[in-house]
């Protein structure tokens, strides 16, 4: 991996399954029926497919960053804005690009723009991330896993 301004992060693609949303609603203690009841979604005029939880959408971006950096502890910061809904049956792609790299003595700190796009649909989430890379990685070495 060579981290420099303009480096594109490897994409992370997921098919969003409505059945998984029910499980996440329980785990997140989220009783909002838009995550598991298509009739509730329709009654609100929001279409006919259940809507994915925001934290799950953000987790797709985190998974993309971890796959790139090699360790979740390397993610120093993540800020996102939720722009649109992700629905059951959608295919989403998390991606990003390095905007700058600076050193802190031990690490190279990569600032990145990140996003989550619905395939053939809108951008669902956009934001920024700060990721610490070992100094050698920024010079072209791949992180150990």
Q: What are the residues whose beta carbons fall under 8 Å from the beta carbon of 27, sequence distance 6 or more?
A: none
Of 53, 66, 62, 107, give the one whose Cα is nearest residue 80.
62
Residue 91: give its domain's CATH number. 3.10.129.10
Report which secondary-structure segment, H or E, holds 25: helix 18-27
Is 76 a member of any domain?
yes
> Are the CB atoms for 88 and 50 separated by under 8 Å?
yes
Of 62, 60, 61, 57, give the one whose Cα is nearest residue 73.
62
Instruction: Give tens-digit pLDDT for 31-73.
Output: 999 999 999 999 999 999 999 999 999 999 999 999 999 999 9
Domain of 103? 8-16+53-138
Is 26 a member of any domain?
no
In three-state secondary structure terms, 129 is strand
Which pLDDT value is given to residue 2? 61
Report which secondary-structure segment, H or E, holds 40: helix 38-43
Walk along the chain (145 residues) in steps of 10 and give the mean pLDDT of each run.
87 96 90 94 96 96 97 97 98 98 86 98 98 68 43
Is 65 a member of any domain?
yes
Of 71, 76, 67, give the one whose Cα is nearest residue 9.
67
Is 110 a member of any domain?
yes
Query: CA torsion sign, 53 to 56 to 58 to 64?
Result: negative
Secondary-structure breakdown of the chain: helix, strand, coil percentages, each rounded to the nearest 5: 30, 40, 35
Number of domain units in the chain:
1
């Amino acid at each position: 991996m060579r981290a420099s301004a303009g480096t594109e992060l490897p994409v992370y693609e997921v098919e969003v399954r409505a059945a998984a949303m029910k499980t996440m609603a329980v785990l997140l203690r989220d009783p909002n029926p838009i995550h598991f009841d298509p009739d509730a979604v329709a009654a609100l005029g929001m279409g006919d497919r259940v809507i994915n939880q925001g934290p799950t959408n953000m987790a797709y971006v985190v998974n993309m960053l971890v796959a790139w950096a090699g360790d979740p502890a390397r993610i120093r910061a993540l800020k996102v804005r939720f722009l649109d809904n992700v629905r059951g049956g959608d295919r989403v792609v998390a991606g990003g690009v390095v905007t700058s790299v600076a050193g802190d003595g031990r690490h190279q700190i990569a600032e990145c723009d990140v996003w989550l796009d619905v395939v053939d649909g809108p951008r669902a989430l956009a934001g920024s991330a700060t990721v610490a890379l070992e100094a050698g990685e920024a010079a072209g070495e791949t992180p150990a896993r």
